[in-house]
Every structure is written in C-alpha cells, then in structure tokens.
Amino acid sequence: MKGSENLDIEIIKYGTITSTNACAKEFLKSCERTAPFCIIADKQTGGYGQAGRRYYCPQGGLYMSLVLSEKSFEYKFAAGFAAVCVAKVISRFVTDGRQVTIKWINDINLDSRKIGGVLIEKVGTAFIIGIGINLVQTEDIPCDLKGLMGFVDTTLPARSFADEIIRELTLKILTDEQVLTEYKEYCGIDGLNIDGSLSVIDVNGKLAKKFSNF
C-alpha cells in the first residue's frame, strides 16, 4: 500500500507482526527494500525496546518502523530527535490538558505514565526508527505494568498519528542545537549533552558520572 500522497514513502501495513523493527531489518538485510519505507502494525507479538527488553504491544497501539537513509537522518542525538517528533505529534492530538513529557532517553510519558517509546537501530547506512504508542486500551494491563502504562485514549485512527510522525521525522529539519533545546523542554533534566549523553556534576562542579546516550 502506498503512503500519504504528499509523502513519497511506501507504507507496508500489517495486522499482527512479530516486530516492525525486526521486519525492517530483514527487508534491509535481504535487499528486499531500501530506505525510505515504513512498516506499520496493529499488534506485535515480539516487540522489543532498548537493550532487547520486551516491549508489550497489544492491539490498540501504533507500532511503526520508519526506515531512512543516514543522509536524511543526520542527528547527533537521533533518538532525541525522534522522541521530540513523537512528543510533538501527541501534544497536538491530546487537547485535554494532559502533559506530554520525555523521560530520558526514549520514553514518552503522558501525565507520568509511559505511553510510548522510541528505538533506533542501524543496518548498513539505514536508520530504523521504531516507535510504539499506546493509543487505546483493549485488554487488561499485565500486573508488572499496572500503574506505569498509560494510553492516549483517542478516537483518531493510528494512521493519522503515523502520517504526522512521518511528516515530523522527514520534513522538519532541526539543527542539533534545536534538537537539544526542544528535547530539554519535554524532558526537563540538567546535564544533557548535544549527543544525548548525560553528565552528572557533583557539588564541587566536577563530573561525577557520564551516562551514554544508548
């Protein structure tokens, strides 16, 4: 299926899939497709997040992987740029006063509950920008996620979110400094460096610890 007319990006749509990121990797490795393309699914059975951690992906969410060439996605803090794009789109659609924030590095929160996340992987020269958003609740939340997991609670179709996110990720070109500024507005922590790493300074102003951006 072809994507939005004004975006020249092929969109491949699945009902249920193991993982849109894993599928994108397979397409790239087998040369079945080259960037740009986007995979969207209604449900994932093997979704994963940072460090390969399991990412719960029931029906009612948006699960997408946008694949872009490194030329079109040159950011020092790539995960930060992607998180800002997702946060902006959700802020645009959530008009009931709930606050969208980013929890370093890649968690998207709505009023302190996690409603999404971003995972960026690279295959050759292509970036796979994996995004998950909990749009509506369709089943009971597993015990370990109760109190942590939130939902956008929207009547808008997942595709509207996907189209806007693709637009943000591809059309709005921010400098690395602007990415950092916008990220800080959503994240509100001190000590962030331009590449997204985090420096913790002690009371004497000395670097106490540096956390990597991945």
- For ligand BTN, the binding residue among 13, 49, 76, 195 (CB under 6 A) is 49
Instruction: In whole angstroms, give the CA distance from residue 102 to residue 80.
Output: 9
Listed ranges 72-80, 130-138, 176-184, 205-213: which one lies at the site for ligand BTN (CB under 6 A): 130-138
Q: What is the DSSP string of 172-194?
A: ----HHHHHHHHHHHH--S-B-T
Per CB under 6 A, 63 contacts ligand BTN: yes
Tell me the three-class secondary structure of 88-149, residue by residue: HHHHHHCCCCCCEEEECCCEEEECCEEEEEEEEEEECCEEEEEEEEECCCCCCCCHHHCCCE
Q: Work out how close the CB of 149 gets to ligand BTN at its nearest, in angstroms, rounded to a whole number.
A: 11
Per CB under 6 A, 134 contacts ligand BTN: no
Q: Work out how close the CB of 89 gets to ligand BTN at its nearest, in angstroms, rounded to a whole number.
A: 15
Residue at token pair 């970036």: 127
Cβ atoms of 195 and 76 closer than 8 Å: yes
- For ligand BTN, the binding residue among 90, 110, 119, 166 (CB under 6 A) is 119
Q: Which is nearer to ligand BTN, 63 or 81 (CB)?
A: 63
Number of residues that bind ligand BTN (CB under 6 A): 20
> Residue 116's beta-bridge partner residues?
108, 133
Per CB under 6 A, 151 contacts ligand BTN: no
Please report, as ranges, the residues that interact with ligand BTN according to CB under 6 A. 19-21, 44, 47-50, 55, 63-65, 106-107, 117-119, 130-132
